[in-house]
Amino acid sequence: MFEKLIIKFISNTSNLEELSRLMKYLEDKRNIEIFKSYIKINYYSIYIMQDIDRKDILGVVQRRISKERKVKFREKTYFKIFKYAAFLTLFFSMGYYYSTFKSQPELVPIIPVVDDIVLTTSDGRKIILNEEQEDVLIESRLSLKKNPGQLNYNKTFNRNSQVEKPVFHSLKVPFGKRYKIVLSDGTLVHLNSGSTIKYPLIFDKIKPREVFLEGEAYFDVAEREKQIFSVNTKTINVEVYGTKFNFKNFPEDDFSDVVLVEGSIGLYSNFNPKITRLKPGTKGSFNKFDYSITRNKINTSIYTSWINGQVIFRNESFENILLKLERLYNVEIINNSKRKSNETFNAKIDLDQESINHVLSYFNKIYNIKYRTFNNKIIIN
What angle do the packed helices 16-26 and 29-37 form, to 10 degrees? 120
Answer yes or no: do 196 and 340 share one domain: no
Answer yes or no: do 298 and 320 share one domain: no
Report pLDDT for 50.
39
Question: 265 to each of 171, 244, 255, 282, 364, how far by Cα in Å?
Answer: 24, 9, 18, 10, 41
Answer yes or no: do 277 and 128 share one domain: yes
Residue 150 lies inside a defined structural domain of this protein: yes
- Position 319 confidence tier, pLDDT thresholds 50, 70, 90: confident
Residue 98 lies inside a defined structural domain of this protein: no
Q: Among candidates 280, 284, 179, which has minimal Cα distance to 231?
A: 284
| Domain range for 372 | 308-380
Residue 7 lies inside a defined structural domain of this protein: yes
Strand spans (E) along 98-141: 118-120, 126-128, 135-139
Answer yes or no: do 215 and 339 share one domain: no
CA pair distance 63, 69, nearest whole angstrom: 10
Report pLDDT for 143.
78
| Backbone torsions φ then ψ of 233, nearest 5 degrees | -130, -175
Q: Are 214 and 249 in contact (CB under 8 A)?
A: yes
Report pLDDT for 343.
81
Residue 105 lies inside a defined structural domain of this protein: no
Cα of first residue to Cα of last residue in the chain, in angstroms, is: 27
**237: CB partners within 8 A, 6+ apart:** 230, 231, 267, 268, 269, 270
Domain count within the chain: 3
Answer yes or no: do 330 and 251 share one domain: no
Taking residue 117's Cβ as centre, other Cβ atoms within 10 Å add up to 19
CATH number at residue 296: 2.60.120.1440
Q: Are 167 and 197 in contact (CB under 8 A)?
A: no
Answer yes or no: do 227 and 320 share one domain: no
Q: Last residue of some domain: 58, 93, 128? A: 93
Q: Work out the average pLDDT over 54-77.
A: 58
Q: Which of 129-138, 153-162, 355-364 has the lowest mean pLDDT?
A: 153-162
- What percent of the chain stands above pLDDT 70? 74
Residues in the chain: 381
Residue 110 lies inside a defined structural domain of this protein: no
Give the pLDDT confidence of 79-90 residue by residue, as tens digits.
Answer: 333 333 333 333
Give me the chain's average pLDDT, please: 78
Answer yes or no: do 77 and 155 share one domain: no
Residue 41 lies inside a defined structural domain of this protein: yes
Q: Among candidates 212, 241, 211, which has minimal Cα distance to 224?
A: 241
Report pLDDT for 171.
95
- Position 376 confidence tier, pLDDT thresholds 50, 70, 90: confident
Give the pLDDT confidence of 272-302 residue by residue, as tens digits.
Answer: 889 999 999 999 999 999 989 999 999 999 9
What angle do the packed helices 356-367 and 2-10 form, to 10 degrees? 80
User: Which has more confidence, 161 or 361?
Assistant: 361
Beta-strand relationship, 209-220 and 188-191 = antiparallel
Report pLDDT for 103.
41
User: Which has more confidence, 94 or 216?
Assistant: 216
Q: Are 217 and 198 in contact (CB under 8 A)?
A: no
Report pLDDT for 56.
59
Q: Last residue of some domain: 276, 303, 330? A: 303
Q: Which of 6-15, 151-160, 171-180, 221-230 has the lowest mean pLDDT?
A: 6-15
CA pair distance 214, 172, nearest whole angstrom: 9
- Position 71 confidence tier, pLDDT thresholds 50, 70, 90: low
CATH number at residue 331: 3.55.50.30
Report pLDDT for 175.
93
Residue 102 lies inside a defined structural domain of this protein: no
Q: Among candidates 178, 221, 177, which has minimal Cα distance to 199?
A: 221
User: Which has more confidence, 228 or 68?
Assistant: 228
Residue 332 lies inside a defined structural domain of this protein: yes
Q: Which of 47-61, 320-334, 360-374 has the lowest mean pLDDT?
A: 47-61
Report pLDDT for 261.
96
Q: DSSP label at 123?
A: T
Q: Which of 11-25, 300-314, 344-358, 360-374 has the lowest mean pLDDT?
A: 11-25
Answer yes or no: do 144 and 278 share one domain: yes
Answer yes or no: do 254 and 170 share one domain: yes
pTM of the model: 0.70
Answer yes or no: do 168 and 294 share one domain: yes
User: Which has more confidence, 214 or 137?
Assistant: 214
DSSP alpha helix (H) spans, the chain? 2-10, 16-26, 29-37, 54-71, 300-304, 318-329, 356-367
Q: Return the SS3 of 219.
A: strand
Q: Last residue of some domain: 258, 286, 303? A: 303
Q: Which of 120-129, 131-140, 243-252, 284-293 has the lowest mean pLDDT?
A: 131-140
Answer yes or no: do 297 and 322 share one domain: no
Q: Work out the average pLDDT over 333-350.
A: 82
Answer yes or no: do 61 and 88 share one domain: yes
